[in-house]
């Protein structure tokens, strides 16, 4: 996806869904940090581990939420950390989402579940994410194509965030493979994903992409392809992504458009009784840094 062979730049403004407008309201306040609620039980402070697992996780999450609610763009629980605890974990996830939506309804919840399957199966995944958990958005795989993902895409009031160029070290094994396409020329697979999602998948204005901060050059190329679509950017903090480059390459034409996720660097900033205050401190610090780079 080089300088001469790149999908044409976006030509027209796309529709904006309820989910997008919720993000826009938060961006207008200078809020860009997505707090990842990757609440791994073993890492929760020991003093909280009293009573049931459900209560332990719920208490941890809600104290993080209460401490950061005025600084967070969004909250992103990773489904795996709840599923591994079985019924107790799923209950804690549902209770956490319900608490956040009741107390802070202006803050979107993104369920990081990376779902994708055939259409009938996706009906079940969509129902769980949106109707049982109560999430405002979900992460999905593009591999099965638009048709299979319609149970997510057709939920006009919900966000669908498509994996494009992920933050993990081995992401390029498939995502960097060159695709020879007569419409776009030779371009990496992740570039084709970005172009297709922008041109064909976003008719309701409820779609975004995942591009890791660990690959800033690829992030820049995706941003040029998709215009002002929201981009979820994991990989800062513990994964070592360069925040300055991520902001410079990830911001849209309005200096917004970014959902910059930090999980462990925020929620496990302290293992003591001050863990919630430490989470707030790290969220504020990251917010300040993002805005410094964003407005430079």
Q: pLDDT confidence of 11, banded at 50, 70, 90?
A: low
| pLDDT > 70 in the chain, percent | 92
CA dihedral 90, 108, 73, 216 (to 10 degrees): 80
The catalytic residues are 114
Q: Does domain 18-294 have CATH number 3.20.20.70?
A: yes
pLDDT at 1 over 50: no
pLDDT of residue 186: 75
b/e string for 50-76 if b means 16 or more Cβ within 10 A?
A: eeebbbbbbbbbbbbbebbbebbbbbb
Integer Cα distance of 281 and 283 in angstroms: 5
Question: Mind listing the pLDDT tens digit for each residue in 18-45?
Answer: 999 999 999 999 999 999 999 999 999 9
Q: What mean pLDDT comes out for the span 242-258? A: 96
Q: Give the residue among 228, 216, 196 at the shortest CA–CA distance from 187.
A: 196
pLDDT of residue 193: 95
pLDDT of residue 223: 97
| pLDDT > 90 in the chain, percent | 83
pLDDT at 156 over 80: yes
pLDDT at 10 over 70: no
pLDDT of residue 199: 94
CA angle 292, 267, 61 (to 5 degrees): 125
pLDDT at 284 over 80: yes
Integer Cα distance of 199 and 193 in angstroms: 10
Question: Mind listing the pLDDT tens digit for each residue in 74-131?
Answer: 999 999 999 999 999 999 999 999 999 999 999 999 999 999 999 789 999 999 999 9
Integer Cα distance of 258 and 246 in angstroms: 9
Average pLDDT, the chain: 92
Q: Which two tokens stand for residue 59?
A: 């208490």
pLDDT of residue 4: 37
List strands edge to edge, sheet with 159-165: 72-76, 33-36, 258-262, 231-233, 207-211, 159-165, 137-140, 110-115
Q: Which two tokens stand for residue 45?
A: 């402070």
pLDDT at 228 over 80: yes
Q: What mean pLDDT comes out for the span 239-260? A: 92
Question: What's this model's pTM, rounded to 2 decimal places?
Answer: 0.93
CB 207 within 8 A of CB 197: yes
């Amino acid at each position: 996806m080089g300088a001469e062979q790149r999908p044409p730049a976006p030509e027209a403004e796309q529709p904006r869904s309820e989910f997008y407008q919720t993000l826009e309201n938060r961006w207008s306040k200078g809020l860009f940090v997505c707090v990842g609620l990757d609440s791994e039980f073993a890492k929760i402070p020991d003093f909280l581990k009293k009573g049931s697992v459900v209560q332990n996780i719920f208490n941890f999450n809600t104290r993080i939420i209460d401490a950061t609610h005025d600084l967070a763009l969004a909250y992103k629980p990773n489904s795996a950390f709840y599923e591994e605890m079985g019924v107790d974990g799923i209950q804690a996830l549902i209770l956490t989402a319900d608490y956040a939506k009741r107390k802070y309804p202006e803050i979107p919840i993104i369920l990081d579940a990376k779902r994708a399957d055939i259409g009938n199966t996706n009906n079940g995944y969509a129902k769980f994410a949106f109707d049982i958990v109560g999430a405002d958005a979900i992460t999905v795989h593009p591999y099965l194509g638009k048709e299979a993902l319609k149970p997510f895409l057709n939920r006009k009031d919900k966000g669908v965030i498509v994996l494009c160029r992920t933050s993990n070290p081995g992401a390029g094994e498939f995502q960097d493979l060159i695709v020879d396409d007569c419409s776009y020329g030779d371009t990496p697979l992740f570039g084709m994903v970005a172009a297709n999602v922008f041109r064909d998948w976003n008719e309701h204005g409820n779609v975004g992409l995942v591009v890791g901060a660990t690959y800033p050059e690829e992030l820049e190329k995706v941003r040029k392809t998709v215009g002002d679509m929201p981009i979820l950017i994991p990989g800062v903090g513990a994964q070592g992504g360069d925040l300055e480059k991520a902001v410079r390459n990830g911001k849209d034409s309005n200096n917004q458009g970014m959902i910059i996720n930090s999980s462990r660097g925020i929620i496990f900033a302290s293992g003591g009784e001050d863990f919630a205050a430490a989470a707030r401190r790290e969220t504020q610090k990251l917010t300040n840094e993002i805005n410094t780079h964003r407005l430079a």
